Amino acid sequence: MLMPVVVITGASRGIGLAVTRSLLKEHNAHVVTISRTRTPELSQLIQEHERSLLTLECDIANEPALKSAITRGKDHFGQIDGLILNAATLDPMGRIDNADITLDDWKSHFDINFFSLITAIRASLPGLRESKGRIIFVSTGAALRGMSGSGAYCASKAAMNSLSRMLANEEPSIVSLALAPGGVDTAMQAVLRDTGAQHMKATDHKNFIDAYNKGILVNPHDVGYVIAALSLRAPLSLTGQFVKWDNEECREFRRK
């Protein structure tokens, strides 16, 4: 039996690294990672999983480069069974009326957080149709409620959720699922704690500080396992949905 092949963007750190590690060590999968840089942690995984891990470096906002990377991944392993869209940026942070944030800043943000999704999906669809595979969109609860000082991020993630729903309608044989990982203990949370006060409401910033101080942030390895499992086994009954990683819908995909 062939090992499943999963392509993941934004895999060099945080949630993406945790997902990659889980796919390799706990789910016996082949993995293609696409990220701008190769971190020491990702390099270590390459040494440990030389035959089952292919790491490709590219700017995901560069359409030809991203298409080429996904094609190389499929050609290398011969198939694509799952696509995990995890790469994202917070920048620019600031209120919508912030004169220092230009429209081009917003466009650059959407190039990474939204338009790269379309490029990755288009490049992956032929393989995913063959395998009747799965696409996991790593989203956020902020896509629904909004968060002061993070207009671009919230808007791009809301667009992501809409894209997932639309894709589920157009590609009925492929599972298309948007997932909220909650507040995960990653570098992005550290940025929000360290610099958020100058951009967001005091109450919003306090929520990030309190979550860290109370030790209630999600372990990236726990949510990483769920995302990895969903990319391989999520049923068609979940397609088009937006779910939180620890809701009932994901119970069977958590680490036992």
Summarize pLDDT for 236-248 with one digit per residue, the tens. 999 999 999 999 9
Question: Exactly one of 12, 124, 139, 156 is catalytic; which is it?
Answer: 139
Known catalytic membership, residue 131:
no
Question: Exactly one of 12, 35, 124, 153 is catalytic; which is it?
Answer: 153
Contacts of 195 (CB under 8 A, 6+ apart): 93
Known catalytic membership, residue 225:
no
Question: Exactly one of 150, 157, 164, 176 is catalytic; which is it?
Answer: 157
pLDDT in tens, 186-240: 777 787 888 777 787 888 888 888 888 888 888 999 999 999 999 999 999 999 9
> What domains lie within the chain, and their CATH numbers?
5-182+220-253 (3.40.50.720)
- How far is CA 179 from its chain centroid? 9
From residue 39, give the alpha-carbon distance in Å to each of 10, 96, 99.
11, 33, 35
For the chain, percent of residues with pLDDT exceeding 90: 77
pLDDT in tens, 144-194: 987 888 899 999 999 999 999 999 999 999 999 999 998 887 777 787 888
pTM: 0.94
- Residue 153 CA to residue 157 CA, distance in Å, equals 6
Q: How far apart are the first and last CA of the chain?
A: 24
CB 114 within 8 A of CB 153: no
